[in-house]
Amino acid sequence: MDSELKDKIALVTGASSGIGRATVWKFVAAGARVALVGRDAEALAAVAGEITQRGSEAFVVAADVTRVSDAERAVAESVARFGGLDVLVNAAGGLLGGTVENTTLAAWDAMLDVNLRAVFHLMQLAIPHLETRRGNIVNVSSVTGLRAFPGVLAYCVSKAGVDQLTRCAALELAGKKIRVNAVNPGVVRTQVHRRGGMSEEAYATFLEHSRTTHPLGRVGEAEEVAELILFLASERAAWITGATYSIDGGRAQTCAR
């Protein structure tokens, strides 16, 4: 499988860390040329530098995908650099806590902007290029898109929106031979909880507790999710579209606890 994305061109958002970064490395190992998109220019450059040192090609676009002009620039510059687009991976996202009673409108808007609106916009921008090459889209959703969890209201709603966006877009784009799928991870060891304001102590406690909430007895690793993304982006998944794939150690099969 080392060359299954040979000569393919991919754009990955959230590429500087977590699932996005792991996906970049999986794609590069499979032979793809990758545009790395994210807000942290320094971190993106570090990843791209490592890729270049290993003899592969990467291109960095420092951009905030919630900004219309940045999203437009990310797609335009990536296509201009590589000459087309085969795969769009929407891995950028954020997590903020809050209930139906205390979630502020600002927090609500922030979650919907980065986790749903930006995904929708990037899909729109990518469609003409994906149609030309019969490409595909993989969105990074969450177990919270499939099941309800307390204390992360806006995040849950945004990810449920991603799932329905994935399904609707898959139907509408099937005639253009563009596949659209999503992955729904459980708790994965990334920076998203810390960036959402969780302290190191609280995060350590959360990870330990998560061993009990995931039937397989552990949290996931970004590389495991990236492997599923690679599969969905490849020709191995040529007859799969509109799917929302659980990759969560069984979390979606349990009740909230």
Looking at the annotation, which residues are catalytic? Answer: 155
Nearest to 140 by CA among 14, 25, 9, 1: 14
Specify whether the CB–CB gap between 62 and 41 falls below 8 A.
yes
Nearest to 159 by CA among 194, 181, 138, 184: 184
Look at the alpha carbons of 59, 141, 158, 169 in this order and tell me if their dihedral is positive or negative.
positive
Q: Edge-to-edge strand order for the sheet containing 58-62?
A: 58-62, 33-38, 9-13, 87-90, 136-140, 179-185, 244-247
**10: amino acid identity, one letter:** A
Specify whether the CB–CB gap between 29 and 1 falls below 8 A.
no
The residue assigned the tokens 């994965």 is 188
Left (φ > 0), alpha (ψ -120 to 50) or beta: where does 6 sit? beta
CB atoms within 10 A of CB 198: 16
What are the helix (H) ranges across the chain?
Answer: 18-29, 41-53, 68-82, 105-112, 118-133, 153-173, 192-195, 200-213, 222-233
